[in-house]
Structure 1
Amino acid sequence: GEYNPVRRWYFTANVSVHQHFVRSEDKNIILQEGGNGIVGYDKGRIELSGAFSAKWQATDRIGMSLVLREEMFGEKWAPLTPAFFIDGLVARRGNVMLRASVSRNHKFPTLNDMYFLPGGNPDLRSEEGWTYDAGMSFDIGGESLESGSRAIALGGSVTWFDSYIDDWIIWLPTTKGFFSPRNVKKVHAYGIEVKGNMALRPAKGWLIDLNGSYSWTPSINEGEKMSPADMSVGKQLPYVPKHSASVTGRLSWQSWSFLYKWAYYSERFTMSSNDYTLTGHLPDYFMSNVSLEKGLSFKPLDMQLKLAVNNLFNEDYMSVLSRPMPGINFEFFIGITPKFRKKK
């Protein structure tokens, strides 16, 4: 539902209900409970979510909004989760904007987190915490580029965020050879994300679009030691890279489009102690993907054909310990969009 009583006020409300069913089975007996063979799980859960938001355009340059959300998972209700946002136009030239927000977080464990075999943990607690962020953005020539009257457009943003999360859910390897989720009592996740984009029309029918991003995201375990030998406190969370970056370039000509994406992920630790052993960390890696697209237009429908080449340089890498990722591989996509004629 939406309601706009006057120009400067705008209200929205929504309710959603999801009923999830998961049936997971294995051909082999992989767990014993009370002498009974357990080969999987069959669970269901209803999820109810409701939200109300009020947006106020205080002046032509300043806007604010308040969001209140309530959720239920199964028979458990989450505490009320509020969020407040504010943005302001600093300069019309360049469309320079300042933004800030504060929000409460609450995340229930999923059915797989609790019951997946092997490794599920039915005793998991929900994640709770607060997140703060602030940033600035600018945009030059975007509207003119769409109309074709300007040859170049520039844009960018920088965002700082700071999150304090209790009972962070993380999947970690066990001595039994499989992964299992557990709660980390206190996690401090913070960092900076920088984005930039440039679009250029060198000639009629041509478009060059470049996008880049860089993220610095420390995620530190600030909980208490589980034992005198626990070395995880004050260390980066396992499998969370501290640095990541990507650059995407697209060259378009009429209905043809060629895309190249380069991505970088810094080293990730596999153990909460952040040990530099053979199996204690995964090295950083680079990834290159390319794709070629062609759009076709017919009277009843539009069609998109796409050929993608992933891991172009056959990089040897792993996202999870002992699980090598595929080398160079290919994908082909066909997209169909029907055209529905409107009666005059």
Structure 2
Amino acid sequence: MKKLFFALFFILNAGQFSAQEILIDTLFIDNQFNKTSKTSKIISVNSEEILENATSLSDLLRFQSNIYIKENGRGATSSPSFRGTTAFQTAFVWNGININSIFLGQGDINNMNPLSYESIGIKFGGGSVIYGSGAIGGSIHLNNSLDFKRGFNGTFFTEYASFNTINSLVKANYSNEKFSFNLNINHSQSDNDYEVPEKKFINRNGAYQNTSFNLGLAYKTNPNNEFYWQSQHYDSDQHFPVFSENQTRTKYLVQTFRTLAGWKVRSESLKNNFKLAYLEDYFQYFGDVEDSKTNGGTGKQYIVKNDLDFVISRSTSINLISEYQYNEAKGFESGIQSPKRNLGSFSLLYRKLQTRKFYWELGAKQEIVEDYKSPFLFSASAKYVATNWYQTTMNISKNFRAPTFNDLYWKEGGNADLKPETSLQAEMSHRFRYKNFGLGITPYYMHIIDNITWIPVNGAIWSPININKVDAYGLETDLSFEKQFGKHFASSKLSYSYTRSVNLETQRQMRYVPTHRINFNADYQYSFFGIFVQAFYNGKTYIDSIEKDFLNDYLILNSGINFKIFKNNRIGFRVNNITSQAYQAMNYYYMPKRNYAVNLKLNF
């Protein structure tokens, strides 16, 4: 295992641990996310922070975390990279349910509108014991919540930006002691026809639009029983950029339907969260926007999940998570006929508050799947609060990614003999706190085996095989400050990440893994006035497997101001890419130079 030298840090608020979670005014559908925050590195982005980067989930993750975002031009296909891993090794979790595509095994973050969620969580490190396939490098949590005893309130948000971009949100909530209702409708669209003259780049055929409809309901029959329902319908039309006027224009249509019904029961000795979910993804690719679809598919998932937390004592609990899924798909012009898959899994977690300063937990998971042999998974973590200014956490785990329907069945290339990817991971965080300052460090190491890689096997035919072994290791550090004085509030956070992801067969850095990355965020609020600054630096990034061709490093700055009008209503203005930097997150596709946005938020 690689030896890492510790220097600097990451800060999380020190907290007291308890085997019991107390639910008072809000129903959180993903109750495991708060538990993992006790020993894992997480970032939580609330609804107000989401509005600072309302254009897309890509922008939000790029500026408010140190995840590398691989985006084929603004608004086009986009995917995240945690700690030197790939998009396939990232889990997307919607209200506690893994929603990675059963075709691709990943998610396109530009087909997930951030305005659809009350909060967005980012968890670093493996989490397959709880969240299943793909949770190797990290996971992105799209969370909805339902409040009680809040009465009626509503929000209207609209933003107009460069390239004829419009982002709008209408949200209404009503709740009393027993009933909660949440309606969210949002729409985004853009001509997206920006230019980068010095690079002779025009984002032709870059238009997109998407609409999301979200409805949530909850009802308490008594203080110990809650029934809830959360649904989402998403419709997207995403055009892919072309490089000349004569090139054939293409597009990609996506429709997603997700619905989740659940029943939460709690008593002094146990808590149980039972869920029924149905997920449907329908996509169509058009090789010519004026012609019929070229290929496509429909994927359906039926999920039954139960999360039972048995409280042995005030300091000890046992958590059993059981899940059954039935997956089916139907492809069009892809060679994927009608594959089906049954799978079940059992996870057991033991959590113990040993003393007021020491907390630890153990986890184990086994899946039973008809298409492949699933590995036995485990996790172990601990937290020690040494003083009121220093605490440390440690995590080790085994995680995996299952072969997808595309990996197994794609026409002229699918490989039915693939084994799941597995990874062994270790990380240790040191967290310091002094008055209003936080300082910490998180070194980590991952060893990934049976890495699934698509390679050319015969002319234009590509096929996936298990070949690569990868070592990913690095260091993540953060420095934070937060202070309230009178009507003034100031906060800032500076993050740095060092990442090495090495193919052990070639001893070369993996593609699209920047070695150095820096993020900076600062906010200042005074009475009716606020200002924020965002910046990120991305180091040199190799785009081939031999460390020859690369994307140049770049520094991007954003800033915005807002004014409160009539109590809690607000008007704001933002400048993106202030220095008008020409840069690429993916080869060939330049991102916009300086651009602007003005927004209005009304609360009623």
> TM-score w.r.t. structure 1 length?
0.71
The answer on whether the counterparts of 1:184 and 1:221 sit within 8 Å (CA) in structure 2 is no
The residue identity in structure 2 corresponding to 1:206 is H
Please name the residue that 1:155 is paired with. Answer: 438
Please name the residue that 1:60 is paired with. Answer: 356
Distance 1:290 1:184, change over 3 A: farther
Deviations 1:92-144 (CA, angstroms, capped at 9, x unpaired)? 3x2x1121121001112445666789998777542212001112102334xxx
The answer on whether the counterparts of 1:269 and 1:281 sit within 8 Å (CA) in structure 2 is yes
The answer on whether the counterparts of 1:41 and 1:117 sit within 8 Å (CA) in structure 2 is no
The answer on whether the counterparts of 2:476 and 2:495 sit within 8 Å (CA) in structure 1 is yes
Task: For residue 11 of structure 1, report the CA deviation from its aligned partner.
Answer: 2.4
Matches of 1:315 and 1:71, distance apart in 2: 48
The answer on whether the counterparts of 2:470 and 2:503 sit within 8 Å (CA) in structure 1 is yes
Please name the residue that 2:577 is paired with. Answer: 311
Matches of 1:161 and 1:324, distance apart in 2: 32
Deviations 1:302-335 (CA, angstroms, capped at 9, x unpaired)? 8776654432322211111122223334456777
Quick one: which of 587, 590, 598 aligns to 1:324? Answer: 590
Larger Rg, first or second structure (1 or 2): 1
Please name the residue that 2:483 is paired with. Answer: 200
Quick one: which of 363, 377, 380 aligns to 1:81? Answer: 377
The answer on whether the counterparts of 1:73 and 1:108 sit within 8 Å (CA) in structure 2 is no
Please name the residue that 1:165 is paired with. Answer: 448
The answer on whether the counterparts of 2:540 and 2:552 sit within 8 Å (CA) in structure 1 is yes
Matches of 1:322 and 1:117, distance apart in 2: 28
Give matches, 1:178-217, under 5 Å.
Answer: 183-201=466-484, 203-217=485-499
For structure 2, which runs of at least 5 residues remain unmatched after alignment? 1-307
Distance 1:15 1:135, change over 3 A: same
Matches of 2:463 and 2:598, distance apart in 1: 35
Matches of 2:459 and 2:400, distance apart in 1: 31
User: Partner of 1:91: helix, strand, or coil?
Assistant: coil
For structure 1, which runs of at least 5 residues remain unmatched after alignment? 26-36, 142-152, 224-232, 339-344
Deviations 1:171-227 (CA, angstroms, capped at 9, x unpaired)? 7999999998765521011111111100123x412111010111111111113xxxx
Please name the residue that 1:258 is paired with. Answer: 531
Give matches, 1:210-229, under 5 Å.
Answer: 210-223=492-505
Quick one: which of 394, 398, 409 aligns to 1:104? Answer: 398
Deviations 1:2-29 (CA, angstroms, capped at 9, x unpaired)? 222212212223345566677777xxxx
Please name the residue that 1:132 is paired with. Answer: 426
The answer on whether the counterparts of 2:335 and 2:409 sit within 8 Å (CA) in structure 1 is no
Distance 1:125 1:198, change over 3 A: same
Please name the residue that 2:93 is paired with. Answer: none
Deviations 1:232-258 (CA, angstroms, capped at 9, x unpaired)? x11111111111111111112346542
Matches of 2:462 and 2:600, distance apart in 1: 36
Please name the residue that 1:150 is paired with. Answer: none
Distance 1:217 1:79, change over 3 A: same
% identity of equivalent residues: 21
Please name the residue that 2:553 is paired with. Answer: 284
Matches of 1:314 and 1:51, distance apart in 2: 49
The answer on whether the counterparts of 1:216 and 1:243 sit within 8 Å (CA) in structure 2 is yes
Matches of 2:600 and 2:366, distance apart in 1: 40
**Which shifted more, 172-181 or 316-325?**
172-181
The residue identity in structure 2 corresponding to 1:68 is A
Please name the residue that 1:2 is paired with. Answer: 309
Matches of 1:320 and 1:174, distance apart in 2: 25
Matches of 1:178 and 1:325, distance apart in 2: 31
Matches of 1:82 and 1:120, distance apart in 2: 30
**Which shifted more, 120-129 or 2-11?**
120-129
Please name the residue that 2:290 is paired with. Answer: none
Distance 1:85 1:309, change over 3 A: same
Please name the residue that 2:516 is paired with. Answer: 243
Quick one: which of 356, 377, 386 aligns to 1:90? Answer: 386
The number of equivalent residue pairs is 297
Distance 1:97 1:321, change over 3 A: same
The residue identity in structure 2 corresponding to 1:314 is S
User: Partner of 1:271: helix, strand, or coil?
Assistant: coil
The answer on whether the counterparts of 1:206 and 1:251 sit within 8 Å (CA) in structure 2 is yes
Matches of 1:85 and 1:239, distance apart in 2: 30
The residue identity in structure 1 corresponding to 2:471 is H
The residue identity in structure 2 corresponding to 1:131 is Q
Please name the residue that 1:229 is paired with. Answer: none
User: Partner of 2:509: helix, strand, or coil?
Assistant: coil
Matches of 2:550 and 2:321, distance apart in 1: 44
Matches of 1:265 and 1:118, distance apart in 2: 38
Matches of 2:330 and 2:373, distance apart in 1: 24
Task: For residue 38 of structure 1, report the CA deviation from its aligned partner.
Answer: 5.1
The answer on whether the counterparts of 1:48 and 1:73 sit within 8 Å (CA) in structure 2 is yes
The residue identity in structure 1 corresponding to 2:494 is G
Please name the residue that 2:321 is paired with. Answer: 14
Matches of 1:51 and 1:258, distance apart in 2: 45
The answer on whether the counterparts of 1:41 and 1:116 sit within 8 Å (CA) in structure 2 is no
The residue identity in structure 2 corresponding to 1:266 is G
The answer on whether the counterparts of 1:239 and 1:270 sit within 8 Å (CA) in structure 2 is yes
The answer on whether the counterparts of 1:128 and 1:165 sit within 8 Å (CA) in structure 2 is yes
Task: For residue 52 of structure 1, report the CA deviation from its aligned partner.
Answer: 2.3
The answer on whether the counterparts of 2:453 and 2:468 sit within 8 Å (CA) in structure 1 is no
The answer on whether the counterparts of 2:334 and 2:410 sit within 8 Å (CA) in structure 1 is no
The residue identity in structure 1 corresponding to 2:365 is R
Matches of 1:191 and 1:140, distance apart in 2: 25
Q: Which is bigger in relative contact order (C-alpha 8 A, separation at least 6)?
A: 2
User: Partner of 1:78: helix, strand, or coil?
Assistant: coil
